[in-house]
Chain A
Amino acid sequence: MKNKVAVSILFVVLGILILLAPTVIFPVCPADMKMHCQYTKQAEIGIGILIAVLGIVAFFFSEEIRAGISIAVAGIGILEIAIPTKLIGVCGSNMMTCHSATRPLLVVLGVLTIIVSVANSVYLLKVKKA
């Protein structure tokens, strides 16, 4: 039960933080300028919502399904990092907030998402079963 609550809350918090990173915490460039960071923001909003929803869904299911959800979230975490760094990117100049703050924050949140989800799936599949 402890694991269920803790991981669900962590996923929801991480999802919300990913959603807030490019919109509220370190907002990207204004919407009237169509730049990379704008598209990154839109993609990350979707990813943040997805991770938060998976966190809520995980609460209602068995250990095996929760392990599966965690593996999926780890994959989404990799995608979450790839969007601002490789797939879409942010503005080129490191004087811009999207480059110097939003992108590192998204990468840090992505790394945390991967660590939490991988640790949780290992715990559920190996430790708990043993």
Chain B
Amino acid sequence: MSSIHDSFLLKSLQRKKQKNISLILLITILSFVMIGGSLFILVLHNGLKGMQKRLGADIMVIPSECEKTAESLLMEGSREYFYFDASVADNIKNIDGIDKLTKQFYLASLSADCCTSKVGIVGYDPETDFIIQPWIKEKAKGKIGKDKAVVGSQIQVEKDNTIRIFGRTYSVVYRLAETGTSLDTSAYFTMDTVPQLIEDAQSKGIEFLDSQKNGNAISSVFIKLKPGVTDSDVARDIIHAQEIDVDILYPEAILKSFSENTDHLASVAYFVLFAVWLAVELILLIAFYISSSGQKKEYALLRVLGLSRKQLIGMIIKESLLITLAGFVVGGFLSAITVFPFGRYLANNLRFAYITPTVFETVLIFFFGLAASVLSGILASSIPIARICKLDEYSALREEE
């Protein structure tokens, strides 16, 4: 009996080809927008999470008048660097309220031998570091020290687990997890490797000031405060403790404005998703309403031929499920060949941090697209179902005569 129903269902779908193709097209648009939109929202949120961990410091001390450069270094991974004397860090050390303090050295980089794009070279102190540490996801392949490197997720490592920077080979100890920020395209060395990097860079034509060459230069000091301490108080003490002018950045404040922007973008995305869903749902409802008006006689005939209301309703649900599934398959395929492969390219151009979605997240996104399509289809089929429930076969057949 059910196979008779199924073949009848398929024939009925084929008979209303034109209407069904336009419904499939609508569901295709819906599932495409739902999948694309939810990927966009996911990328935004993951990028923000990455940024939150990336800016794990409360205060960043930088040379004076380098605020803009430092900000774009943090947020966009710009490769313009700045230096001041390492004594700045020593002067800060004993200020009250500081929990952790670590210094970093940035080297203006050429395209390094390993990679075709510019690589950020960062000197850091593994003893005090709290900026890079949270991103180390794998077991160490040795101990960090001189001539050893930690690399970001986008740095290409040779097969023997080494990288070449300015013609010299360094063995890679750790690889960082993907952050979607400039951490991904940087290589990290201990401070005692820095003089050698400067020397190699000089031999490749990079110019340095004498103050940068003497091994006493650093680029920034990151500070984590003790709980309950006001950052502006500590910042004032830091400035007072220095003999030279320094600038203070509050990464948390930068992050706040970034997070507000992200929230705005996400709410626009939510609105677009809702608007598209609403438009598609309304069209579906209207289409089902019109078609079910014209099908009253068909329903009545089927009832007279012996189909129970339950069977008739089952047929309508199956029909709408088949249409929504077909639409989802096409929409899902389209988004699989457009949104996912080019997500990173778009994110790079729009200056978003892009972290590749995990398999679980991808499955979830597709599942969301499927659920939205199926639910919309079923909701729309509630109109013909309601008609069937209220159907008076006798008058329906007479009406059409």
Contact = CB atoms under 8 A, between A and B. Distances in A.
Are A and B associated in one complex?
Answer: yes
Contacts of B185: 93, 95
Given A95-B154, A107-B341, A108-B337, A100 B114 contact: no
A101 interface: yes
Q: Which of A91, A93, A96 has the most CB of B within 10 A?
A: A93
A24 interface: no
Interface in A68-112: 91-97, 100-101, 104-105, 107-108, 111-112
Interface stretch (B204-212, B246-254, B285-293, B342-350): B342-350
Contacts of A111: 337
A100 B117 CA distance: 13
Nearest to A35: B116
A68 B326 CA distance: 30
Contacts of B155: 92-93
A51 B116 CA distance: 31
Contacts of A35: 116
Contacts of B52: none
A101 B156 CA distance: 18
A92 B156 CA distance: 6
A92 B114 contact: yes
A110 to B, nearest CB: 11
B341 A92 contact: no
Interface string B94-129: 000000000000000000001111000000000000
A101 B342 contact: yes
Contacts of B114: 92
Interface string B319-337: 0000000000000000001
Contact of A104 (B115, B116, B341, B348): B341
Contacts of B154: 92-95
Interface string B49-64: 0000000000000000
Interface string B262-301: 0000000000000000000000000000000000000000
A19 interface: no
B117 A96 contact: yes
Given A108-B337, A112-B337, A97 B116 contact: no
Interface string A111-124: 11000000000000
Report the contact-size class of chain B (Cβ under 8 Å from the partner): 10 to 19
Interface string B131-169: 000000000000000000000001110000000000000
A92 B185 CA distance: 11
Contacts of B116: 29, 33, 35, 91-93, 96
Contacts of B117: 91, 93, 95-96
Interface string B329-373: 000000001100110110010000000000000000000000000
Interface in A5-61: 26, 29, 33, 35
Nearest to A101: B345
B159 to A, nearest CB: 13
A2 B236 CA distance: 79
A100 B337 CA distance: 14
Contact of A100 (B156, B338, B345): B345
B117 to A, nearest CB: 4
A94 B344 contact: yes
A100 B115 contact: no
B342 A93 contact: no
Interface string B224-256: 000000000000000000000000000000000
A96 B118 CA distance: 10
A54 B117 CA distance: 38
Contacts of A112: 337
B28 to A, nearest CB: 17
Given A93-B116, A108-B341, 11 more contacts: A92-B114, A92-B155, A92-B156, A93-B154, A93-B156, A95-B117, A95-B154, A95-B348, A100-B342, A100-B344, A104-B341
Interface of B: 114-117, 154-156, 185, 337-338, 341-342, 344-345, 348
13 contacts: A33-B116, A92-B155, A95-B154, A95-B185, A95-B348, A97-B345, A100-B342, A100-B344, A101-B345, A104-B345, A107-B341, A108-B338, A108-B341
Interface of A: 26, 29, 33, 35, 91-97, 100-101, 104-105, 107-108, 111-112
